[in-house]
Structure 1
Amino acid sequence: MLIAFRTFSNEKHLKITSYWAISCTTYFVPVPWVNDMETSTMISIEDNSQDFQKAVLNILEDFETEKKQLEQSQYAFLNILEDNDEERKQLQQSQRAFLNILEDMDVEKNKLEIEISARKHTEERLKQANMELDNFAYAASHDLKAPLRVIANASQWLEEDLTEHLTDETRENMALLRGRVKRMEKLLDDLLEYSRIGRKEDERFLESVQGDALMNNIIELLSPPQNFIVTVGKDFSKITVKRMPLQQILLNLISNAIKHHDKKEGHIDTMVEVGDQYYTFSVKDDGPGIASQFHEQIFQLFQTLKPRDQVEGSGMGLAMVKKYVERVGGKLHLESSEGHGSTFSFTWPINR
């Protein structure tokens, strides 16, 4: 017996026709998943209904398998489309992020340009201020000091011309006048030096010197009284430093220790400790000490703890020390209490 089946596009059935010698039997089997397709298959089976039913079931199982494979292919294709869509979204997000970065860079560029312009403007103003300060310093060192010298000379001439007519009180007043002139000259010199800290440097700032040689030179410049002993720590011989401004700093500190001492004799120790990046210099005295409430005041401009009639000075020395030390990134420290002496210490960069 010969079996043939055909599907028609306008029917959702599987038409199975059984051909015999003269007659034929036709069966309609529903196949709902088949649509818009035609299939023809010829199979040979035994002439009994049981075999025929098995054949039909096998055909249906094949169609079910094909259907599952087709669905799996459709799922796989949809997954690919979903993956592509996800990758497209990620690409769009990356593009947006990149555009945001470019926008941020543009904003930062504009900010930087504004800052550079403002800095240039500030530098120009600073240059102008420095020029004005230099002009003031020139006036202070020449124009203002010139009349002071005239006053000092005139008082000296008057005293010489009127020697026979001057009393002791008058001579004392004339000496006081010349003393005030010298004080004003010293004040102008110190003010000029203070204004130049960090701006004006000469060959002394380039000269290197051994630490012990530096201290010997400072002691020679000070010429301390014989009843004052200034000791130099042994570690000074181990270091080499630029002469200036360390010479000015140490000279001011030692000079203050002698000038403000409350006894006729005293002892001053100078020491240096060598660290990894900094030297630590210290000047210790056995003088009257400084009360804690004045520890900040003494580093301000024109400040003295005693009237200038008692201790001659401009009140600029410690202010200059503080400015020099802070200018190079060092730290200045004072340890003192009333009646127990003072120790001034400061750090100084080794490579300075």
Structure 2
Amino acid sequence: MSRPFTSNSQGPVQEAEEFLYIMTHDLKAFARAMRTIPDWIGEDLAAQRIVLSADAADNLAMLRDYAHRLDDTLTALTELSRVARLADPPAAHDLEALVTGACTRLPATPRLTCDTECGGLHVKGPLNDLNRLFDAILGNAAAHHDRDFGNLRIVARTWHDRVQVTVSDDGPGIAPAHWTAVFKPLATLRPKSETGHSGVGLAIARKVVRSLGGEIAIIPTEAPRGLSVRFDLPGADGGA
């Protein structure tokens, strides 16, 4: 089992986290400018009644698209750098409320329903990191679902002094050969130009779980479709 990352880590790890945060924060200013400038160019050309050639218009649209993707990637990396390092004070939280909140923040498309079996369990940890965790897991399922509708099933049970959570979806799934690689930052199974996603969601989820002393993994499922992700979090003894 890998050594958990904790907010008390010192030395090179902490320095790397701080550098990542500073770098992504500063680069976002450039990315936002790159997103805005193509629009200014288009407005200036329109004001002068200049019509771009089809190739020039395509190139300008490509620049705008790459700038948006760069900004989205930097935003995701900034979130990754904040995990554990800028965490809220640990507290007990109702697991059902955490899951329900993440379900309400899912995008409208695809239309996913959430079935939960949380058994009245509570977990202990920083609220902002726990929200990042469930947003990342459920959001990843939505981002890669290949149908207009689907279902998420979230089941929790006590496991020693911890709470074990399994999140299952009915999407296309992932080949077992990639089950480890998808937790690495910026890892995607298809080109980012096709998916429009940065590939940081599961890396954020893994970092949150490990910062709380747990592990996360994709587990086998008997269903013909879908993916199941299992992780464990500190229990909170009836919410106390």
Q: Please classify the TM superposition score into its range, dividing by the shorter chain length.
A: 0.7 to 0.9
Tell me how far apart the structure 2 counterparts of residues 238 and 132 of structure 1 sit (CA, whole Å).
Answer: 35
CA separation of 1:261 and 1:135: change in aligned 2, threshold 3 A: closer
Partner of 2:226: 341
1:53-85 alpha-carbon deviations (Å, 9 max, x no partner):
xxxxxxxxxxxxxxxxxxxxxxxxxxxxxxxxx
Query: 1:256 pairs with 133, 140, 143, which one?
Result: 140
What do the CA deviations read for 1:263-307 (whole angstroms, capped 9, x no partner)? 222111112112340101111011111111111111112110011
Aligned mate of 1:184, from 70, 79, 85: 70
2:169 corresponds to 1:310: no
Unaligned segments of structure 2, at least 5 residues? 1-9
Match of 1:271 in 2: 155
Q: Which residue of 1 aligns with 2:5?
A: none
The size of the alignment, in residue pairs, is 224
The alpha-carbon distance between structure 1 residues 174 and 132, as it changes in their structure 2 partners (threshold 3 A), is same
Q: Which structure: larger Rg?
A: 1
Q: Which residue of 1 aligns with 2:3?
A: none
- 2:123, 2:184 → 1: CA distance? 30
1:246 is aligned, of 126, 130, 145, to 130
Structure with the larger RCO, 1 or 2 (CA within 8 Å, 6+ apart): 2
Partner residue in 1 for 2:39: 156
Q: Take 2:113 and 2:16, find their aligned partners in 1: how far apart are those partners?
A: 44
Q: Per-residue deviation at 1:346?
A: 0.4
**TM-score, structure 1 as length reference:** 0.56
Q: Which amino acid aligns with 1:214?
A: L
Look up the equivalent residue of 2:151 and give its one-letter code: H
1:321 and 2:234 equivalent?
Answer: no
* Counterparts in 2 of 1:207 and 1:149: CA distance versus 1, 3 Å: same
What letter is aligned with 2:107? Answer: S
**1:307–1:226 CA distance, 2 compared to 1 (3 A):** closer
Q: 1:266 to 1:284 in 2, by over 3 A?
A: same
Q: 1:342 to 1:133 in 2, by over 3 A?
A: closer
Q: Deviations over 1:227-264 (max 9, x none)?
A: 322222252x4435442322111111111111111222
Displacement over 6 Å in runs of 4+: none
Q: Matched residue of 2:228: which SS?
A: strand
Q: CA deviation at 1:172?
A: 4.4
The 8 Å contact of residues 224 and 258 in structure 1, kept in 2 or not, is answered as no
Match of 2:82 in 1: 196
SS of equivalent residue, structure 2 residue 70: helix
Q: Is the 8 A contact 2:113 2:152 kept in 1?
A: yes
Shift of 1:155: 0.4
TM-score (norm 2): 0.80
Distance (Å, rounded) in 2 between the aligned partners of 1:128 and 1:334? 29
Task: Give CA-to-partner distance per residue, 1:189-230, whole Å, 9 cap, x none.
Answer: 22233233332224xx44544222222221222234363222
- The answer to whether the 8 A contact 2:156-2:166 is kept is yes
Matched residue, 2:6 = none
Give the gaps of 5 or more residues in structure 1: 1-125
Amino acid at match of 2:228: T
The amino acid of 1:150's aligned partner reads A
CA distance in 2, matches of 1:234, 1:296: 26
What is the one-letter code of the residue matched to 1:145?
K
What amino acid is aligned across from residue 149 of structure 1 in structure 2? R
Verify: 1:331 aligned to 2:234, yes or no: no
Aligned match of 1:146: 29
Contact in 1 for aligned 2:169/2:227 (Cα 8 Å): yes
